[in-house]
Protein backbone atom coordinates (compact mmCIF):
# COMPACT_ATOMS: atom_id res chain seq x y z
CA UNK A 1 0.00 0.00 0.00
CA UNK A 2 1.51 3.37 -0.94
CA UNK A 3 1.67 6.40 1.37
CA UNK A 4 -1.14 8.23 -0.47
CA UNK A 5 -3.57 5.35 0.09
CA UNK A 6 -2.52 5.10 3.72
CA UNK A 7 -3.23 8.79 4.27
CA UNK A 8 -6.64 8.57 2.51
CA UNK A 9 -7.78 5.52 4.45
CA UNK A 10 -7.45 3.00 1.62
CA UNK A 11 -9.27 -0.19 2.60
CA UNK A 12 -7.34 -3.35 1.76
CA UNK A 13 -10.49 -5.35 2.46
CA UNK A 14 -12.40 -3.69 -0.35
CA UNK A 15 -15.62 -5.55 0.36
CA UNK A 16 -15.83 -3.65 3.64
CA UNK A 17 -15.53 -0.26 1.90
CA UNK A 18 -18.66 1.86 2.40
CA UNK A 19 -18.39 2.82 -1.28
CA UNK A 20 -18.59 -0.76 -2.51
CA UNK A 21 -21.93 -1.73 -1.01
CA UNK A 22 -23.98 -1.09 -4.13
CA UNK A 23 -25.63 -3.70 -6.26
CA UNK A 24 -23.09 -5.74 -8.21
CA UNK A 25 -23.04 -4.91 -11.93
CA UNK A 26 -23.35 -7.94 -14.17
CA UNK A 27 -23.68 -7.57 -17.96
CA UNK A 28 -27.35 -7.71 -18.96
CA UNK A 29 -28.79 -9.46 -22.01
CA UNK A 30 -31.87 -9.04 -24.11
CA UNK A 31 -34.31 -11.86 -23.53
CA UNK A 32 -36.40 -12.87 -26.51
CA UNK A 33 -40.04 -12.07 -25.81
CA UNK A 34 -39.11 -9.55 -23.09
CA UNK A 35 -41.97 -7.99 -21.14
CA UNK A 36 -42.05 -4.39 -19.89
CA UNK A 37 -41.04 -5.76 -16.47
CA UNK A 38 -37.98 -7.37 -18.11
CA UNK A 39 -37.09 -4.09 -19.81
CA UNK A 40 -37.37 -2.05 -16.61
CA UNK A 41 -35.37 -4.67 -14.70
CA UNK A 42 -32.60 -4.50 -17.31
CA UNK A 43 -32.53 -0.72 -17.12
CA UNK A 44 -32.39 -0.95 -13.33
CA UNK A 45 -29.36 -3.25 -13.52
CA UNK A 46 -27.21 -0.94 -15.64
CA UNK A 47 -26.29 2.75 -15.32
CA UNK A 48 -26.87 6.44 -16.05
CA UNK A 49 -30.39 7.56 -17.03
CA UNK A 50 -31.47 3.94 -17.49
CA UNK A 51 -31.41 3.55 -13.71
CA UNK A 52 -33.38 6.77 -13.29
CA UNK A 53 -36.01 5.56 -15.75
CA UNK A 54 -36.34 2.33 -13.78
CA UNK A 55 -36.50 4.26 -10.51
CA UNK A 56 -39.28 6.41 -11.97
CA UNK A 57 -41.24 3.32 -13.03
CA UNK A 58 -40.91 1.73 -9.59
CA UNK A 59 -41.90 4.97 -7.86
CA UNK A 60 -44.94 5.42 -10.10
CA UNK A 61 -46.01 1.87 -9.20
CA UNK A 62 -45.52 2.67 -5.52
CA UNK A 63 -47.57 5.87 -5.78
CA UNK A 64 -50.45 3.94 -7.32
CA UNK A 65 -50.34 1.11 -4.79
CA UNK A 66 -50.09 3.53 -1.85
CA UNK A 67 -53.29 5.22 -2.97
CA UNK A 68 -51.67 8.61 -3.63
CA UNK A 69 -53.76 11.33 -5.17
CA UNK A 70 -51.76 11.65 -8.38
CA UNK A 71 -51.41 14.94 -10.23
CA UNK A 72 -50.14 14.85 -13.80
CA UNK A 73 -48.42 17.81 -15.45
CA UNK A 74 -48.59 18.07 -19.24
CA UNK A 75 -46.15 20.47 -20.90
CA UNK A 76 -44.72 20.40 -24.41
CA UNK A 77 -46.38 19.11 -27.57
CA UNK A 78 -46.46 15.37 -26.85
CA UNK A 79 -50.26 15.02 -26.81
CA UNK A 80 -50.77 16.65 -30.20
CA UNK A 81 -48.10 14.25 -31.44
CA UNK A 82 -50.29 11.29 -30.47
CA UNK A 83 -49.37 10.81 -26.82
CA UNK A 84 -52.79 11.82 -25.57
CA UNK A 85 -53.77 8.16 -25.81
CA UNK A 86 -51.42 7.37 -22.94
CA UNK A 87 -53.19 10.00 -20.81
CA UNK A 88 -56.50 8.32 -21.67
CA UNK A 89 -55.05 4.97 -20.54
CA UNK A 90 -53.90 6.42 -17.21
CA UNK A 91 -57.25 8.12 -16.55
CA UNK A 92 -59.24 4.97 -17.35
CA UNK A 93 -56.99 2.89 -15.08
CA UNK A 94 -57.49 5.34 -12.20
CA UNK A 95 -53.77 6.20 -12.16
CA UNK A 96 -54.24 9.96 -12.66
CA UNK A 97 -56.64 11.91 -10.45
CA UNK A 98 -55.97 15.54 -11.45
CA UNK A 99 -54.17 17.20 -14.36
CA UNK A 100 -52.60 20.55 -15.09
CA UNK A 101 -51.89 21.21 -18.74
CA UNK A 102 -50.92 24.03 -21.00
CA UNK A 103 -53.97 25.48 -22.71
CA UNK A 104 -52.34 24.67 -26.04
CA UNK A 105 -52.56 20.91 -25.47
CA UNK A 106 -56.19 21.10 -24.32
CA UNK A 107 -56.91 23.09 -27.50
CA UNK A 108 -55.03 20.70 -29.81
CA UNK A 109 -56.72 17.68 -28.22
CA UNK A 110 -59.89 18.81 -29.97
CA UNK A 111 -58.35 18.17 -33.40
CA UNK A 112 -58.54 14.42 -32.84
CA UNK A 113 -62.06 14.51 -31.44
CA UNK A 114 -63.42 16.54 -34.36
CA UNK A 115 -61.43 14.75 -37.07
CA UNK A 116 -59.28 17.73 -38.06
CA UNK A 117 -56.03 17.09 -39.96
CA UNK A 118 -52.91 16.28 -37.91
CA UNK A 119 -50.11 14.37 -39.68
CA UNK A 120 -46.46 13.47 -39.21
CA UNK A 121 -44.06 15.89 -40.86
CA UNK A 122 -40.37 16.72 -40.67
CA UNK A 123 -38.30 19.42 -38.94
CA UNK A 124 -36.03 19.48 -42.02
CA UNK A 125 -38.27 21.41 -44.37
CA UNK A 126 -38.58 24.79 -46.07
CA UNK A 127 -40.87 26.65 -43.65
CA UNK A 128 -41.55 29.37 -46.21
CA UNK A 129 -42.92 26.67 -48.50
CA UNK A 130 -45.07 25.30 -45.67
CA UNK A 131 -46.43 28.76 -44.93
CA UNK A 132 -47.27 29.35 -48.59
CA UNK A 133 -49.03 25.98 -48.64
CA UNK A 134 -51.19 26.83 -45.63
CA UNK A 135 -49.48 24.21 -43.46
CA UNK A 136 -48.42 24.92 -39.86
CA UNK A 137 -45.61 23.01 -38.18
CA UNK A 138 -45.07 21.86 -34.59
CA UNK A 139 -41.53 20.47 -34.96
CA UNK A 140 -42.28 17.21 -36.85
CA UNK A 141 -46.09 17.47 -36.68
CA UNK A 142 -48.02 19.19 -39.47
CA UNK A 143 -51.47 20.73 -39.21
CA UNK A 144 -53.40 23.12 -41.46
CA UNK A 145 -54.06 26.80 -40.84
CA UNK A 146 -57.62 26.74 -42.23
CA UNK A 147 -58.68 23.10 -41.97
CA UNK A 148 -57.22 22.52 -38.49
CA UNK A 149 -56.68 25.75 -36.55
CA UNK A 150 -59.46 27.96 -37.92
CA UNK A 151 -61.87 25.03 -37.95
CA UNK A 152 -61.00 24.37 -34.30
CA UNK A 153 -61.51 28.05 -33.53
CA UNK A 154 -64.99 27.86 -35.05
CA UNK A 155 -65.83 24.92 -32.78
CA UNK A 156 -64.51 26.78 -29.73
CA UNK A 157 -66.56 29.85 -30.60
CA UNK A 158 -69.72 27.75 -30.77
CA UNK A 159 -68.85 26.13 -27.45
CA UNK A 160 -68.04 29.47 -25.81
CA UNK A 161 -71.46 30.83 -26.72
CA UNK A 162 -73.06 28.07 -24.63
CA UNK A 163 -71.32 29.31 -21.46
CA UNK A 164 -72.84 31.75 -19.02
CA UNK A 165 -70.88 34.62 -17.49
CA UNK A 166 -69.96 33.37 -14.02
CA UNK A 167 -66.95 32.82 -11.83
CA UNK A 168 -65.44 29.51 -12.89
CA UNK A 169 -62.06 27.88 -12.52
CA UNK A 170 -60.05 26.54 -15.43
CA UNK A 171 -61.07 23.08 -14.20
CA UNK A 172 -64.73 24.07 -14.59
CA UNK A 173 -64.09 25.51 -18.04
CA UNK A 174 -62.19 22.48 -19.33
CA UNK A 175 -64.73 20.09 -17.81
CA UNK A 176 -67.52 21.87 -19.71
CA UNK A 177 -65.40 21.70 -22.87
CA UNK A 178 -64.87 17.97 -22.30
CA UNK A 179 -68.61 17.42 -21.91
CA UNK A 180 -69.19 19.43 -25.10
CA UNK A 181 -66.77 17.13 -26.94
CA UNK A 182 -68.62 14.10 -25.61
CA UNK A 183 -71.92 15.47 -26.94
CA UNK A 184 -70.78 16.94 -30.25
CA UNK A 185 -67.56 15.35 -31.51
CA UNK A 186 -67.62 12.36 -33.87
CA UNK A 187 -64.48 10.88 -32.28
CA UNK A 188 -64.74 11.73 -28.59
CA UNK A 189 -62.94 8.47 -27.78
CA UNK A 190 -59.69 10.06 -29.05
CA UNK A 191 -59.90 12.96 -26.60
CA UNK A 192 -58.17 12.82 -23.21
CA UNK A 193 -60.09 15.96 -22.24
CA UNK A 194 -63.39 14.17 -22.89
CA UNK A 195 -62.16 11.10 -21.01
CA UNK A 196 -61.23 13.28 -18.03
CA UNK A 197 -64.73 14.78 -18.03
CA UNK A 198 -66.26 11.29 -18.17
CA UNK A 199 -64.17 10.04 -15.23
CA UNK A 200 -64.47 13.18 -13.10
CA UNK A 201 -60.79 14.12 -13.41
CA UNK A 202 -60.24 17.90 -13.12
CA UNK A 203 -57.93 19.53 -15.68
CA UNK A 204 -56.48 22.87 -14.61
CA UNK A 205 -54.64 25.16 -17.01
CA UNK A 206 -51.33 26.74 -16.07
CA UNK A 207 -52.59 30.01 -17.58
CA UNK A 208 -56.00 31.45 -18.26
CA UNK A 209 -54.99 33.30 -21.44
CA UNK A 210 -51.70 32.55 -23.23
CA UNK A 211 -53.15 30.04 -25.70
CA UNK A 212 -55.79 29.71 -28.41
CA UNK A 213 -58.53 29.02 -25.85
CA UNK A 214 -57.81 32.35 -24.16
CA UNK A 215 -57.61 34.11 -27.52
CA UNK A 216 -61.00 32.74 -28.56
CA UNK A 217 -62.46 33.86 -25.23
CA UNK A 218 -61.01 37.34 -25.86
CA UNK A 219 -62.55 37.40 -29.37
CA UNK A 220 -65.97 36.64 -27.88
CA UNK A 221 -65.48 39.50 -25.42
CA UNK A 222 -64.56 41.81 -28.31
CA UNK A 223 -67.51 40.79 -30.46
CA UNK A 224 -70.26 40.45 -27.85
CA UNK A 225 -68.88 41.92 -24.61
CA UNK A 226 -69.33 38.50 -23.02
CA UNK A 227 -66.59 37.57 -20.53
CA UNK A 228 -66.37 33.83 -19.93
CA UNK A 229 -62.66 33.74 -19.05
CA UNK A 230 -61.79 31.46 -16.12
CA UNK A 231 -60.92 33.10 -12.81
CA UNK A 232 -57.28 32.68 -11.74
CA UNK A 233 -58.00 33.01 -8.01
CA UNK A 234 -60.76 30.41 -8.15
CA UNK A 235 -58.45 28.04 -10.03
CA UNK A 236 -55.63 28.40 -7.50
CA UNK A 237 -57.93 27.97 -4.51
CA UNK A 238 -59.55 24.86 -5.98
CA UNK A 239 -56.17 23.36 -6.80
CA UNK A 240 -54.89 24.17 -3.32
CA UNK A 241 -58.00 22.62 -1.78
CA UNK A 242 -57.45 19.36 -3.68
CA UNK A 243 -53.82 19.27 -2.57
CA UNK A 244 -54.68 20.10 1.06
CA UNK A 245 -57.38 17.43 1.23
CA UNK A 246 -55.15 14.62 -0.09
CA UNK A 247 -53.73 12.35 2.65
CA UNK A 248 -50.93 11.25 0.29
CA UNK A 249 -49.84 13.20 -2.72
CA UNK A 250 -47.75 12.30 -5.79
CA UNK A 251 -46.83 14.34 -8.86
CA UNK A 252 -46.07 12.89 -12.33
CA UNK A 253 -44.74 15.60 -14.65
CA UNK A 254 -44.23 15.38 -18.42
CA UNK A 255 -41.76 18.17 -19.10
CA UNK A 256 -41.54 21.23 -16.89
CA UNK A 257 -42.69 24.74 -17.66
CA UNK A 258 -45.98 26.20 -16.51
CA UNK A 259 -47.76 22.97 -15.52
CA UNK A 260 -44.88 21.90 -13.25
CA UNK A 261 -44.78 25.35 -11.68
CA UNK A 262 -48.55 25.54 -11.24
CA UNK A 263 -48.84 22.13 -9.60
CA UNK A 264 -45.88 22.63 -7.30
CA UNK A 265 -46.87 26.16 -6.30
CA UNK A 266 -50.04 24.95 -4.58
CA UNK A 267 -48.27 23.64 -1.46
CA UNK A 268 -46.43 26.90 -0.64
CA UNK A 269 -49.63 28.77 -1.44
CA UNK A 270 -51.27 26.86 1.40
CA UNK A 271 -48.44 27.17 3.93
CA UNK A 272 -46.75 30.45 2.96
CA UNK A 273 -49.57 32.59 1.56
CA UNK A 274 -52.79 31.33 3.16
CA UNK A 275 -51.01 30.47 6.42
CA UNK A 276 -52.39 26.95 6.91
CA UNK A 277 -49.97 24.24 8.03
CA UNK A 278 -48.98 21.99 5.14
CA UNK A 279 -45.74 20.14 4.47
CA UNK A 280 -45.83 19.55 0.71
CA UNK A 281 -46.18 16.56 -1.57
CA UNK A 282 -44.96 13.10 -0.62
CA UNK A 283 -43.60 11.96 -3.97
CA UNK A 284 -42.69 13.27 -7.41
CA UNK A 285 -41.51 12.11 -10.84
CA UNK A 286 -40.40 14.45 -13.60
CA UNK A 287 -39.18 13.76 -17.14
CA UNK A 288 -37.38 16.75 -18.63
CA UNK A 289 -34.59 17.81 -20.95
CA UNK A 290 -34.05 21.00 -18.94
CA UNK A 291 -30.83 21.58 -17.03
CA UNK A 292 -30.57 22.85 -13.48
CA UNK A 293 -27.74 25.28 -14.19
CA UNK A 294 -29.71 28.23 -15.63
CA UNK A 295 -31.93 28.58 -12.57
CA UNK A 296 -35.12 27.95 -14.54
CA UNK A 297 -38.11 26.20 -13.03
CA UNK A 298 -38.20 23.42 -15.64
CA UNK A 299 -34.80 22.14 -14.54
CA UNK A 300 -35.19 22.94 -10.84
CA UNK A 301 -34.39 19.89 -8.76
CA UNK A 302 -36.93 18.39 -6.41
CA UNK A 303 -34.40 18.93 -3.64
CA UNK A 304 -34.48 22.67 -4.27
CA UNK A 305 -38.27 22.48 -4.33
CA UNK A 306 -38.19 21.03 -0.79
CA UNK A 307 -36.72 24.35 0.41
CA UNK A 308 -39.85 26.07 -0.92
CA UNK A 309 -42.22 23.73 0.89
CA UNK A 310 -43.31 22.01 -2.32
CA UNK A 311 -42.21 18.50 -1.22
CA UNK A 312 -41.73 16.97 2.21
CA UNK A 313 -38.36 15.24 2.05
CA UNK A 314 -35.39 15.69 -0.30
CA UNK A 315 -34.00 12.23 0.52
CA UNK A 316 -36.81 9.96 -0.63
CA UNK A 317 -39.73 9.57 -3.01
CA UNK A 318 -38.37 11.93 -5.69
CA UNK A 319 -37.10 10.90 -9.15
CA UNK A 320 -36.10 13.22 -11.96
CA UNK A 321 -35.29 11.65 -15.32
CA UNK A 322 -33.29 13.63 -17.83
CA UNK A 323 -34.63 12.88 -21.28
CA UNK A 324 -37.30 13.57 -23.87
CA UNK A 325 -40.63 12.40 -22.57
CA UNK A 326 -41.98 11.00 -25.84
CA UNK A 327 -39.37 8.24 -25.40
CA UNK A 328 -39.46 7.77 -21.62
CA UNK A 329 -43.11 8.30 -20.63
CA UNK A 330 -44.40 5.30 -22.63
CA UNK A 331 -42.07 3.04 -20.63
CA UNK A 332 -43.43 4.30 -17.32
CA UNK A 333 -47.04 4.24 -18.52
CA UNK A 334 -46.69 0.74 -19.97
CA UNK A 335 -45.02 -0.52 -16.82
CA UNK A 336 -47.79 0.58 -14.45
CA UNK A 337 -50.58 -0.45 -16.83
CA UNK A 338 -49.11 -3.97 -16.91
CA UNK A 339 -48.09 -4.20 -13.25
CA UNK A 340 -50.83 -2.46 -11.27
CA UNK A 341 -54.45 -3.30 -10.63
CA UNK A 342 -56.79 -0.57 -11.81
CA UNK A 343 -58.05 1.87 -9.17
CA UNK A 344 -61.57 3.20 -8.83
CA UNK A 345 -61.64 6.81 -10.04
CA UNK A 346 -61.58 9.35 -7.21
CA UNK A 347 -63.85 11.66 -9.25
CA UNK A 348 -62.37 14.75 -7.61
CA UNK A 349 -64.28 16.98 -10.03
CA UNK A 350 -67.50 15.88 -8.34
CA UNK A 351 -66.19 16.72 -4.85
CA UNK A 352 -64.01 19.79 -5.27
CA UNK A 353 -66.53 22.10 -3.59
CA UNK A 354 -66.34 19.89 -0.50
CA UNK A 355 -62.54 20.18 -0.57
CA UNK A 356 -62.87 23.96 -0.90
CA UNK A 357 -64.98 23.95 2.25
CA UNK A 358 -62.25 22.03 4.11
CA UNK A 359 -59.60 24.53 3.08
CA UNK A 360 -61.80 27.46 4.10
CA UNK A 361 -62.44 25.84 7.49
CA UNK A 362 -58.71 25.28 8.03
CA UNK A 363 -58.07 28.90 7.11
CA UNK A 364 -60.80 30.09 9.51
CA UNK A 365 -59.31 28.01 12.32
CA UNK A 366 -55.85 29.40 11.62
CA UNK A 367 -57.18 32.94 11.65
CA UNK A 368 -58.96 32.29 14.94
CA UNK A 369 -55.82 30.78 16.46
CA UNK A 370 -53.70 33.74 15.40
CA UNK A 371 -56.25 36.19 16.78
CA UNK A 372 -56.26 34.33 20.11
CA UNK A 373 -52.46 34.33 20.26
CA UNK A 374 -52.34 38.04 19.53
CA UNK A 375 -54.92 38.66 22.25
CA UNK A 376 -52.87 36.63 24.74
CA UNK A 377 -49.72 38.51 23.75
CA UNK A 378 -51.44 41.86 24.34
CA UNK A 379 -52.76 40.61 27.66
CA UNK A 380 -49.25 39.59 28.67
CA UNK A 381 -47.92 43.03 27.81
CA UNK A 382 -50.60 44.70 29.96
CA UNK A 383 -49.75 42.48 32.89
Contact 203, 101 (CB under 8 A): yes
Residue 370 binned pLDDT confidence (cut-offs 50, 70, 90): confident
User: Which residues fall within 8 angstroms of residue 339, CB to CB, at 6 or more apart?
Assistant: 36, 37, 61
Task: Identify the CA nearest to 81 among candidates 325, 248, 382, 346.
Answer: 325
Q: What is the pLDDT of residues 224-240, one digit of tens each?
A: 999 999 999 999 999 99
Contact 87, 132 (CB under 8 A): no
Query: Which of 84-88, 206-210, 317-321, 347-351 shows the lowest per-residue confidence on average (mean pLDDT)?
Result: 206-210
Task: Identify the CA nearest to 279 among candidates 249, 305, 311, 239.
Answer: 311
Q: What b/e string do you get for 142-161 counting C-beta neighbours within 10 Å, with b at 16 or more?
A: bbbeeebbebbbebbeebbe
Contact 227, 209 (CB under 8 A): no
The percentage of residues in the chain with a pLDDT greater than 90, rounded to a whole number, is 84
Axis crossing angle, helix 170-184 with helix 151-160, rounded to the nearest 10: 110
Give the pTM.
0.93
Q: What is the pLDDT of residues 236-271, one digit of tens each?
A: 999 999 999 999 999 999 998 899 999 999 999 999
Examine the pLDDT at 379 and tell me if it is beyond 90. Answer: no
Contact 123, 144 (CB under 8 A): no
Task: List domains and CATH numbers for the chain.
Answer: 67-365 (3.40.910.10)
Amino acid sequence: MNEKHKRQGHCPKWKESPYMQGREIVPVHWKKGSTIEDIISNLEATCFEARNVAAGARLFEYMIKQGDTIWMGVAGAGPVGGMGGYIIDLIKAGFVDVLCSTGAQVYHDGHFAFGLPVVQGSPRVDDNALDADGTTRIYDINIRMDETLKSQDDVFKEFAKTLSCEVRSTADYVHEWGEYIRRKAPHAEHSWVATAAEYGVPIFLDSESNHSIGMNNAALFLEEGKDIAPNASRSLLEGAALVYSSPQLGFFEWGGGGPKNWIQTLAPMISQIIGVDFEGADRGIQITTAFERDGGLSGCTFGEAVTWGKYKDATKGLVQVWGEYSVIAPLLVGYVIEKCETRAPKRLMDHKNEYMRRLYEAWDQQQAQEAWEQQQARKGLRE
